[in-house]
Structure 1
Amino acid sequence: MGLVGRNGVGKSTLLKIIRGQIAPTSGRVSVQGKVSSLEQTVQIGPEDTIADLFGVASHLALLCRAAAGDASGDELADADWTLEARLAASLERIGLQVGPEARLADLSGGQRTRAALAAVTFHDPDILLLDEPTNNLDRAGRDAVRALLQDWRGGAVVVSHDRELLEDMDAIVELTSLGASRYSGGWSAYRARKDIELEAAAHELESAERAAASARRRDQEKAERRDRRDSAGARQAKGGGMPRILLGARKNQAEVSGGAQAKSAERRQAELDAAAARARGLVEILQPFVVSLPPTGLASGRTVLRLDDVAAGYDPARPLIEGLSFAMTGPERIAILGPNGSGKSTLLKVIVGDLAPLRGQVTLSVPTATLDQRMDLLDPATTIRDNFLRLNPGATENACRAALATFQFRADAALMNVGTLSGGQMLRAGLACVLGGPKPPLLLVLDEPTNHLDLEAIQAVEAGLAAYDGALLVVSHDQTFVAALGIQQTISLDPVSR
């Protein structure tokens, strides 16, 4: 089961409730079988090893003593002679080529994630709880996680924004501020159902608003007819055409009837307005993010970037990249692919001028902006508005507010300090400041922008980039995200070939 929803809605909290770390404020949780869980961040000590992570360090030490002839008879009786083989098989299954003595601090974030995933499956639990298992993983790591879950015969609850991984789920559960909704099938089936719900919600809103407006018109017409009758009665009374007692009775009856009708109309109108508000709230929750951006004016034949026989890295004797040449022309979209450690981020630093190439020539010919998961171009101590005006000198206050509203930072939301934003808000603010100005950059460089973002935030980023007509250079392990960008050329960096 895939568990999806906005950041902060409670997905990780729900996993903690399931595994008994915190108690629910109401209701009851019943778990049958053994549960094993993987958290987003693998907490480690400076000397912790793979064996410590698996909880088998003492058992491996016993096998070492037994091999050296130092174990007692009682210890030998307790020895697990299959442990080393099972441990190696578990690590191999997740594509990790390390021994049990390897220190976790010496591994990359992606390697630690793989090791932790192997550890949670090692003791054959009945249920896996996985919190963002593919974060920090390269293409091979993501494929290994998918393969492991496809072969898994127990239950699994997977919190993830990885749409490829979610495609393999038997069901998707979406958490929102309204509660939880379950959808059978994987990601595509969930999205298809959500699109139907959006259309139905929009139709319900239109009908509710039409009914409320129609009732308001009818009540107004009734009130106007009543006023005309009352005016006519008053004129007749002045003319002396009706006994005083009958006039008084009719007046009292009109007042009682009018008051009852007014109360009934108010009650009916309040019910219809409430129905419209409920429908409107549902549409706002489901409504996708749409962005409109000013054109960059990048000509199709203009040279944007050229690399000629570039070598890059931090050690001239052991470059991460060797003999790389390519060019970007016009609004081309290029993805740089490769496993962790192949030099992708290093290459981006060389391209934008943060790192000099070891050899070769880099020619960057157009104004460029870089966005990554840290959003270094934004000042965390100031507001989104102030960052926009700093990055777009000459922009008016009205233009600033209009651009930020396009990226859903309206009114007081534009005055939030960048340091208080979530990951998704941070990236959206970066896009607003870079792409929302009167002169967007002609080249946008993205370095793993979707790490730690929820699905709604990723789709917002995709919407913003779909509206951008400049050149795009992106590094990402999220294949679905890359495919959504309309990539025209891929450059693969393979450390094995160097």
Structure 2
Amino acid sequence: MPASIALSSLSWPTPDGRSLFDLDLSFGPERAGLVGRNGVGKTTLLRLIAGELRPQAGSIAVNGRVSILRQSIQVDPAETIASLFGATEALALLRHAETGEATAEELADADWTLEARMESALAQVGLDARPDMALATLSGGQATRARLAALVFAEPDFLLLDEPTNNLDREGRAAVIDLLGRWRGGAVVVSHDRELLETMDAIVELTSLGATRYGGNWSQYRKRRALELAAVARDLADAEKRVGEIDRKTQVVAERKARKDGAGQRKRAKGDMPRILMNAQKDRSEDSGGENARLAERRRSQALDAAASARERIEILQPFSILLPPTHLPAGKMVLSIDAASAGYTPEQPILRNLSFSITGPERVAVVGPNGSGKTTLLALVTGGLQPWSGSVRIFTDFAMFDQQVSLLDPSASIRDNFRRINPSSDENTCRAALARFMFRADAALQLVSALSGGQVLRAGLACVLGGPQPPPLLILDEPTNHLDIDSIEAVEAGLRAYDGALLVVSHDEAFLEAVGITRRLNLAELLS
């Protein structure tokens, strides 16, 4: 019997008692991308399938073995890569045998191919590391690749992967994509990496309305979604039209009844009709009026429900787009100049050596290179967080820096108060209009920054900086798409496409760099080699 996962009427409660989802869904030996907004329950769903959580209701039937890759784990200082493989004791036995101290029984139990197989699994994810290396010595991206290698080594029927390319450089992302391309078992992959999602056999979208499966990869899913949006927009227009028609017909019926009732009252007032007949006509009129009113109200309620349902679908499907005030940055203006700069954190170990480059006018420059090549150090040098040991760094315009925590925002203040602090000349109406363009309408603008998701925080930061009367001519962004869901990434992309200033961006996300119109790449590994 082939490996499979079947979810039936599966539900899980939120902390406040609401049901996060109610799902009927199945997965076969395929690569399925699981997408949806942050907070919709993607990670929770993986943990339910893996058996780490018990469902509130419904059932999960898994035919085969599953292995799960979590977004992050706490690392014990004593743990090694071999710990991930569950091979610590077996590896120690091999070391014992190599010294000639093993007994005959131990030699008989030794797995002489173990180390070679572990190294082969590590090589499959592009990680050049020894099994006895301490996990604490690995970078975040290296640790992710080591955990993925351990999962593959265990040969499960299903891989459950939660954001497997987060924190990985280009080489690491390529290794994960290549590995999944060769994987012949089942895989359920939570990801916002559109390059990875292009390799999927199916996309499953999780929303507040449930789960919808789309056959094919990311591009095919987007085409289907665009068609759905057009269809839902037509449904909304039809429902709103029906509401208007029902209201007009109800008004006509009410006016006709009022005229008829008025004529009957005048006739009764003349006294030329028997009282019993007058009372019967009055009763029929009242019954007919009440029935007409109930029928009209029922039809109107159905039309309003259809319109509300269509609006809810549009909210899920509608891409984000905005208009921003211009920066008026001239094409020939020098924005940033770095001349023969060297810098680092310890004098014996410079990270940047004799680096020179400049940005002129509204250029869009991507800083690329493998993890550890100095990208974050460069941004610290540009923004003044790090001073050069030699050479010069000059910035000739106002700028805003968006790090991964969006630290320009005060987490204890509301979005609205942050906007007013960053844009002191803006009045309340200007503030609310700017925040509404970034989908923070009415009470949503009063949310504390500390209560927002990662995607909402970045969107709030963009709203406060780009939504003001005069956006800065230079934006600096450090891995802006890490930990964001795809809707949030596309919202950020829409904001940056509408921005007419200069960009300096550190990112490994090729789809993001293409979407924001990068015009030049600065490869630190090549410049500093």
Question: Could you state the TM-score of these two structures normalised by the residue count of structure 1?
Answer: 0.97
Tell whether 2:170 aligns with 1:128: no
Partner of 1:164: 195
Q: State the 1:174 CA deviation.
A: 0.7
Q: State the 1:309 CA deviation.
A: 2.1
| Equivalent position amino acid for 1:119 in 2 | A
2:492 to 458, 461, 464: 461
2:441 to 393, 404, 410: 410
| Equivalent position amino acid for 2:246 in 1 | A
Is the contact made by 1:198 and 1:286 (CA closer than 8 Å) also made in structure 2?
yes
SS at the partner of 1:339? coil
Q: State the 1:206 CA deviation.
A: 0.5
Partner of 2:371: 340
Give 1:13-162 correspondences, 5 Å limit.
Answer: 13-162=44-193
2:523 to 475, 492, 495: 492
Tell whether 2:357 aligns with 1:350: no
| Equivalent position amino acid for 2:88 in 1 | A
Partner of 1:318: 349
Is the contact made by 2:355 and 2:527 (CA closer than 8 Å) also made in structure 1?
no
Distance 2:160 2:442 in 1: 40
Distance 2:274 2:95 in 1: 117
2:463 to 432, 445, 448: 432
The runs of 5 or more residues in structure 2 that have no matched partner are 1-31
Is the contact made by 2:325 and 2:469 (CA closer than 8 Å) also made in structure 1?
yes
SS at the partner of 1:320? strand
Of Structure 1 and Structure 2, the greater strand share is in 2
State the Cα deviation string for residues 262-314 of structure 1 (Å, max 9, x = none): 22212222222222222222222222222221111211221111122222322
Distance 1:451 1:329 in 2: 28
Further displaced range: 318-327 or 143-152:
318-327
Partner of 1:309: 340
Report the aligned-residue RMSD.
Answer: 1.5
Is the contact made by 2:352 and 2:528 (CA closer than 8 Å) also made in structure 1?
no
Further displaced range: 284-293 or 235-244:
235-244
Tell whether 2:359 aligns with 1:328: yes
Partner of 1:380: 411
Q: State the 1:240 CA deviation.
A: 5.1
| Equivalent position amino acid for 2:373 in 1 | S
Q: State the 1:316 CA deviation.
A: 4.0
The runs of 5 or more residues in structure 1 that have no matched partner are none
SS at the partner of 2:330? coil
Partner of 1:483: 514
SS at the partner of 1:174? strand
Q: Percent identity?
A: 59
State the Cα deviation string for residues 11-67 of structure 1 (Å, max 9, x = none): 111111111111111221111112111100033101211111211111111111111
| Equivalent position amino acid for 2:380 in 1 | K
Partner of 2:14: none
Tell whether 2:242 aligns with 1:205: no
Partner of 1:300: 331
Distance 2:72 2:287 in 1: 69
Is the contact made by 2:368 and 2:508 (CA closer than 8 Å) also made in structure 1?
yes
Partner of 1:390: 421
Distance 1:12 1:238 in 2: 75
Question: Could you state the TM-score of these two structures normalised by the residue count of structure 2?
Answer: 0.91
Distance 1:89 1:384 in 2: 50
Report the number of matched residues.
498
Q: State the 1:496 CA deviation.
A: 9.5
| Equivalent position amino acid for 1:300 in 2 | A
Partner of 2:317: 286
State the Cα deviation string for residues 196-236 of structure 1 (Å, max 9, x = none): 11111111000001011101101110111111122122233
State the Cα deviation string for residues 132-182 of structure 1 (Å, max 9, x = none): 000010000000000110011111110000000011000011111111110
Partner of 2:396: 365
Is the contact made by 1:342 and 1:495 (CA closer than 8 Å) also made in structure 2?
no
Tell whether 2:304 aligns with 1:273: yes
Distance 2:366 2:192 in 1: 20
1:221 to 242, 252, 266: 252
